[in-house]
Amino acid sequence: MSVKYYLTCLFLCFINVTISQNCNLKFQGIIKDFHDGTPIEGAYIKMEGSNLYAISDERGNFVFNNICTVNFKASVSHVSCDPKIVTVNLNEKAFFEIRLEHHIEELIEVNVTSKVNKKSKTAQETVIKSDVLERYSSLSLGDAIKEIPGISSINTGNSIVKPVINGLHSSRVLIMTNNVRLQDQEWGIEHAPNIDINSAESISLIKGANALEFGGDALGGVIIVNPSRTFNKDSIFGKTMLNGHSNGKGYGFNTTLTKTLSKGFYINGQVSHKQTGDYKTPDYFLTNTGSKKTGFSAFTGLKKLEYGFEVYYSYLKNKIAILRSSHIGNVEDLVNAINSEEPTIINDFSYDINAPKQEVIHQIFKVNYYQRFKNFGKLDVQYDYQNNHRFEFDIRRGDDRDNAAIDLELKSHTFKSTLKLDSNSDNIYKIGLLAGYQDNYANPGTGVRRLIPDYQKFDFGIFSIGNFKPSDKLTIDIGVRYDFNRINAKKFYQTSRWIERGYDDDFSDIIIEDFGTQLLVKPSFDFHSVSLSTGLSYDLGKNRSILFNYGLSNRAPNASELFSDGLHHSAARIELGDLRILKETSNRISGTYNYDSEKATITVEGFFNHIHNFIYLEPTGVETTIRGSFPVWEYKQVNAILFGADLNMRYEINRKFVVQNKSSFMKGKDVSSNRDLIDIPSLKTTNLVRFTNKKWSNFSAEIQSELVFRQRNFPNNNFEAYIPRTDSFILVDISSPPPTYHLFNVRSDFDLKISKKENVRVAFSINNLLNTSYRENLNRLRYFADEIGRNFSIQLIYNY
């Protein structure tokens, strides 16, 4: 044999030995749940760049034998888990412990056919999904959540809408937007929440004081506005909505775009604009009722299993006109307006926004970081800053006619942290703390006596919540929270007002300077509050379940209730706070019965709420100023009870027809003097019939009947006013509610398929189909004009 033959054989043997040695490598490990360390069976492990894969056994173990490659990546996935990529170097180690996020969220059907995650398993909670919110793109948060039984609104015209939850509103309703508590001068009835509904993917509503994580002062409930979700995959998607409606000749658009990466990075941007002109009742234009709203938001961050962060910013500017005829110069104007069937001022249609009007700019900045710990839990840390700048413009003359009568700037800083201990899925605990600081600056350059003074507010809170699952059918939640609030103010009082209200006896120690006709005072108040919540959910079987809740909550009075002292121009009334006002204490009991089958859904909710030292605002008489005579409204305290029931029934006749009923009933009593409470919603029932045919481009059509009964339980707050022109006294009837009204609304929509990933949703609707003239009891402008008439709307939603 030649030398060449021997060398060739030797080389081939060497190659064979080398390959044989490298292919003896072993890659093995165990798949565990990140939270409690329990093994995960059925996880799929695949070596990238090859056809090799393994599946974990009942102990979570897996093994790859005869591996030839030292360095490679392996993908790990499992049903209900976030997938994970593992980098492997077999020279360093051969056994790997791999942790997956294995939280199977409970999916509960709510409202129509949507399935979404709830924030609480034992609270009276409803979730509104994006397809429902899209219908209200050109409207407001307050309009959208009226989809839920038990929810109404208190309005100042059509553009200023405040949510009312089982009879409670304003400071008693807590609003969370992207995990930030909204701080926006919510004390005024005519102060609408500064939320752009187009930035929300879903809204969760928790009735009652059963969400202690968010605050202990939510006597009415918590509204949680959830932003768009992101996913760990390489994708870009978005949505553009165009809206137009006939009444008010309004138009608007909204665009949202999201970019996500498989490595966990994401970025989202959203911009919206909408404008309306003067609305119209069936018989006349509502002069000066237009609005213009512009919003922008953006957030970016990193979402991984072990850690992540997010940075968020939003900007919202609202310009809102207030019905010209609602501005009264004196009590005689008010009497004439109430007795007149039409507004005293009616002009042709216009987009102009003139005084009286509001301009509000609200900005939010948030940064959040989270860290997960194996076999322990998750830590969240967050800081947010808000700036709310509110201008209210009165009808003025002379050099000041273009100046705001109220100019308030509220700056809020909040730091909070929560720790969720979820290593045992049957017993989950959450503890957290919050520290906040607010500074309110009331610009003295308005030329008008300041209604709200400068003040500083300090907040501190700590809470603990436990979620327990004693059995497969029973879930129990228990929570406790402590809050400390301090408010330091500095304001001028007229000496005559100071003496009239008896402050000279009770608060002489807070006077820091006496100017003769005015006193400069420096009030400071501390409030300590303890809140409790307990709830249980029990599965009765056969698609039935019950919920029970008890909540104890306390709310410290706000700056308006304590310090208001002067003419509130946009409300055309004198408002007086009281330095003696104490914190409110609510004891609320509620129960819910749920039946949820394939064809039928029935939810019945009942509640009873006793509020000690309930704070309310009511008219007490008339006061004459250099501007004229105005009604005087004072903040008072009583012991009150509120009780009622909400019903939601849905039945699927067949695959095409669905019928639904939503009804709400409640009462409110002042038990201190045995009389009815003011501003309690009327009995309301809504019926709907919907037809759907998915074969017709996902076509649907519906007709809705909305029946609102006259409120027959109300306090008599009428008063007599002196009219100098006639030298007589006249009864001012501001209490009698308007009559029952019945509205019909229709809607239809369908899809136009553009490509596999693109489609356009076309929707057409008519509200107040029969052009009915009516007035709503909880609209502050009901004294002056009817509600709007028939309104045609069209909407295009482009998903891509």
- Residue 343: cis peptide before it, omega within 30 degrees of 0: no
Q: What separation, in Å, do the N-terminal and C-terminal C-alpha atoms of the chain show? A: 73
pLDDT in tens, 517-576: 999 999 999 999 999 999 999 999 999 999 999 999 999 999 999 999 887 766 667 889
Q: In this structure, are strands 628-652 and 114-116 parallel, antiparallel, or unpaired?
A: unpaired
CA distance 628 to 622: 10
Pairing of strands 95-100, 25-33: parallel
Pair of tokens at residue 704:
């809705």
What per-residue confidence (pLDDT) applies to 746?
Answer: 98
Q: What does R_g of the chain's alpha carbons equal in angstroms? A: 31
Instruction: Look at 265 and 77; give whichever has higher pLDDT.
Output: 265
Share of the chain above pLDDT 70, in %: 93
- What's the average model confidence in pLDDT over 309-318? 97
Q: What is the pLDDT of residue 9?
A: 52
Antiparallel, parallel or unpaired: β 108-110 and 114-116:
antiparallel
Q: Give the Cα separation of 315 and 278 in Å (integer).
A: 25
Looking at residue 748, its pLDDT comes to 97
What integer pLDDT is reported at residue 756 of this predicted model?
Answer: 83
Q: Indicate whether 98 pLDDT > 60.
A: yes
pLDDT of residue 118: 67
What CA–CA distance (Å, rounded) separates 31 from 33?
7
- The pLDDT, as a whole number, for residue 684 is 96
In three-state secondary structure terms, 142 is helix
Residue 461 pLDDT greater than 50, yes or no: yes
Instruction: Give residue 571's pLDDT.
Output: 66
Long-range contacts of range 765-772, CB-CB < 8 Å, 24 or more positions apart?
765/135, 765/792, 765/793, 765/795, 766/790, 766/791, 766/792, 766/793, 767/743, 767/791, 767/793, 768/743, 768/744, 769/743, 769/744, 769/745, 770/743, 770/744, 771/282, 772/282, 772/741, 772/742, 772/743
Q: Which residues of 543-582 are buried (b: 16+ CB within 10 A; e: fewer)?
A: eebebebbbbbbbbbbbbbbbbbbbbbbbbbbbbbbbebe
Strand ranges (E), 105-234 = 108-110, 114-116, 125-128, 151-156, 160-165, 168-169, 173-177, 180-181, 202-207, 221-226
- Residue found under tokens 């056809």: 51
| Band of pLDDT at residue 628, cut at 50, 70 and 90 | low
Number of Cβ within a 10 Å radius of residue 671: 15
**Stretch 217-233: mean pLDDT:** 88
Q: Token pair of 157, please?
A: 């015209």
Residues 551 and 562: their CA atoms lie apart, in Å, by 26
Q: What one-character-per-residue DSSP string does 305-360 give?
A: SSEEEEEEEEEEEEEEE--GGG--SSHHHHHHHHH-SS-S----------SSEEEE
Q: pLDDT band for position 363 (50/70/90)?
A: very high
* Average confidence (pLDDT) over 223-249: 91
Tokens 């006709």 sit on residue: 517
For the segment 243-294, what is each residue's pLDDT rounded down to a tens digit? 999 999 999 999 999 999 988 999 999 999 999 999 999 999 999 999 999 9
Over residues 723-781, the pLDDT tens digits come to: 878 888 888 888 899 999 999 999 999 999 998 889 999 999 999 999 999 999 999 89
Question: CA distances (Å), 786 to each of 284, 773, 776, in order?
Answer: 9, 6, 8
**What token pair was written down for 536?**
């249980």
Strand partners, 317: 294, 361
Q: Picking from 139-148, 172-181, 415-424, which range would have the lowest pLDDT averaged per residue?
A: 139-148
Q: How confident is the model at residue 402 (pLDDT cuts 50, 70, 90)?
A: confident
Averaged confidence pLDDT in the chain: 89
**Residue range 390-408: mean pLDDT, rounded:** 86
Instruction: Please provide the DSSP assignment of 213-256 as one string.
Output: TT-S--SSEEEEEE-----SSSEEEEEEEEEEETTTTEEEEEEE
Which of 327-331, 442-446, 536-540 shows the lowest mean pLDDT across its residues?
A: 327-331
User: Quick one: pLDDT at residue 556?
Assistant: 95
For the record, the structure tokens of 44 come out as 């799929």
pLDDT of residue 570: 61
| pLDDT, average across residues 226-250 | 92
Give residue 118's identity as a one-letter amino acid code.
Answer: K
Q: Each residue of 588-623: pLDDT tens digit?
A: 999 999 999 989 999 999 999 999 999 998 888 777
Whether the predicted pLDDT of 17 surpasses 50: no
Residue 764 is predicted with a pLDDT of: 97
131 sits in which H/E element: helix 130-133
Non-local (6+) Cβ contacts of 703 within 8 A are 688, 689, 744, 745, 746
Res. 492: pLDDT tops 50: yes
pLDDT of residue 336: 82
Q: Which of 234, 252, 118, 226 is nearest to 535 (CA)?
A: 118
E strand spans, 597-698: 600-625, 628-652, 657-670, 675-676, 684-693
pLDDT band at 186, cuts 50/70/90? Answer: confident
Looking at the DSSP bridge assignments, the partners of residue 521 are 491, 511
Whole-prediction pTM: 0.87
Q: What local confidence, expressed as pLDDT, does residue 569 receive?
A: 63
